[in-house]
Amino acid sequence: MFITSTDQITKGTLLLVDWDMKLQQTMVEMFPLNSADAAYTKISGMLSTLGDPFTRIISPKVLQMFP
């Protein structure tokens, strides 16, 4: 699956990213992780490559802070 951001399209810099491969590579790196915090950190890093300020993952710990 190839996904581009709207910003990339409007700027004319159509950058195709193979997100399936990126997910597979990240999962292989994550597999040896032994804590949920480490997994959330890794997923957050992967999402930050999107460059979208509205795309994020919220861990259960952070979610509990909201009323």
Domain residues for 15?
2-63
How many structural domains is the chain composed of? 1
Q: State how far the Cα of 43 lies from the Cα of 37, in Å rounded to an integer.
A: 10
* pLDDT tens, residue by residue, 44-61: 888 999 888 888 888 888
**What predicted TM-score, i.e. pTM, was given to this entire model?**
0.47
28 vs 4, which has greater pLDDT? 28
* pLDDT tens, residue by residue, 5-59: 555 555 554 566 777 888 878 877 767 767 778 778 888 888 999 888 888 888 8
Cα-flanking dihedrals φ and ψ of residue 39, to 5°? -65, -45
Q: State how far the Cα of 34 lies from the Cα of 15, in Å rounded to an integer.
A: 34
Q: State how far the Cα of 50 lies from the Cα of 5, in Å rounded to an integer.
A: 7
Q: What is the pLDDT of residue 4?
A: 52
